Structure 1
């Protein structure tokens, strides 16, 4: 049976806890996520929308919206200030969240691996091909992780959220560790998982310790780190073989913004690129920074 909660609920609880326990930059915060939908609302007459975005809708009763390029221009300055005020960034983290199935009967295909109730989630071939390629190509510049909770019911998930123990009850796997498999199985967080088809024991690790042990990047500033990573992601989406529908969806969405000529707003366009990457692949992009320094 499927775990009895939505994947987005787990993702939200996980991100909130990660934000409290580590020094993490969430490049797409709530305000920015709202703004990144501008392709469909740039000419809206809805006063509530423009009030949220900070535009003086009250100055003219004939207010008819704002051109997308004008908003992109403002966001370029806003994002530049925000990113420059953050301490030195470390590395790019990509999380692929998974809502598992909970197998309770011996007829489960992987029962012989555990001989008890266990969790499992499927790997989607095109998605995994892309994630594994990114982690392999980018080396130390990117860590790509699957994250799946060892929880069945939403009530238990809520209790873990209140206790600040979501991360402690999550099973993690680096993408490239699952190459050649179509599923991953586990019984609880903090132990081993076994990937399938051919079973392979894979040891867990401590996420918080891994993040805190990362060293800040010295070779480029925060703005260039984001710009260069987004360009690499864009390149990967074009070049990787075997990700047909993901590539098509990504290119179709990016074409909408290219038609507006937004490439001139380099940082904003980088954020758009990563937003579309998340939209298409479901991957959450995070960047740890050096919490020992004041922002």
Structure 2
């Protein structure tokens, strides 16, 4: 039996906390979402989150409102501004299965009894891993899962703003050739299967700060969008013959590219193409 709550129930307070004190969160509503296809854009400044992944500076990402958006934005009358902060964090939220007994193998890695596990989907893992590799330090691609499973815990952690402190994060590339991720506590440590491998990463905050050091050297928003688009397409092209997610994205991408004459500026098509990938791969594109 999986956690008592759905992934969406976990995502909302998680993303809300990740923005910490900056209050830089965009929840665009149905009209905006219908034109741009995004649910939310965040600036994650929670110190524990970034510390978990070993980053020392917050990444720059892309400043959306520095770009002109052509016909799509005019349809809305440009009555509201786009987020004026950067985007560089891609999260795939997972709903874990709580387990009460640890195998002898897991006990050897410090597991006692209560722990959690989520399954890794082959096609999704492959495409996320490929994109993460291509983007290098431009974006951090991670799985996030709660280290709790009851509705009572979800409500209590949400009210206390302790969802991040009670969640487990792991980079997608760490789960290469694995089918499951097992963990018994919050943070960035756990055991990956099939061939058991104990993984303990630097803190999430540290990871994002490290990515930020690279971002400071690449502050051109237009170039960042072009790079995200280019690397995503190249990653999908390499695996499209056997990966249905990559094949489907490239099919939709081809249709989008046929509309390039409608877009007034290059940044618009780059943004739309990368955001399309996030929707197909079921990633949340966040701002940090």
Normalising by the residue count of structure 1, what TM-score does the alignment of the two structures yield? 0.72
Match of 2:7 in 1: 7
- Contact kept? 1:75, 1:268, Cα under 8 Å: no
Of 88, 99, 102, 1:103 maps to 99
Q: Who is 2:52 aligned against?
A: none
Q: Structure 2: state its 5+ residue gaps.
A: 38-68
Contact 2:178 2:195 in 1 (8 A): yes
Please tell me whether Structure 1 or Structure 2 has the larger radius of gyration of its CA atoms: 1
Pairing of 1:15-164 with structure 2 (within 5 A): 15-21=15-21, 29-30=28-29, 32-36=32-36, 71-72=71-72, 74=74, 82=82, 85-86=84-85, 89=86, 92-105=88-101, 114-164=111-161
Aligned match of 1:192? 189
Closer/same/farther in 2, CA of residues 115 and 70 from structure 1, 3 Å limit: closer
SS at match of 1:173: strand
Contact kept, 8 Å, 2:144 with 2:167, in 1: the verdict is yes
* Count of residues in correspondence between the two structures: 251
The question of whether the paired residues in 2 share the 8 Å contact of 1:123 and 1:183 is answered with yes
User: Structure 2 CA distance, aligned partners of 1:72 and 1:196?
Assistant: 45
- Whole-Å Cα distance in 1 between the matches of residues 114 and 93 of structure 2? 21
SS in 2 for 1:282: coil
Q: Shift of residue 108 of structure 1?
A: 11
| 1:5 to partner: Cα distance | 0.7
C-alpha contact (below 8 Å) 2:147/2:166 kept by paired residues: yes
Which segments of 5 or more consecutive residues in structure 1 lack a partner in the other structure? Answer: 38-68, 289-295
TM-score (norm 2): 0.73
**d(CA) in 2 for partners of 1:263, 1:232:** 21
**Paired position in structure 2 for 1:284:** 284
In structure 2, C-alpha distance between the alignment counterparts of 1:75 and 1:265, rounded to whole Å: 16
Q: Is the 8 A contact 1:72 1:268 kept in 2?
A: no
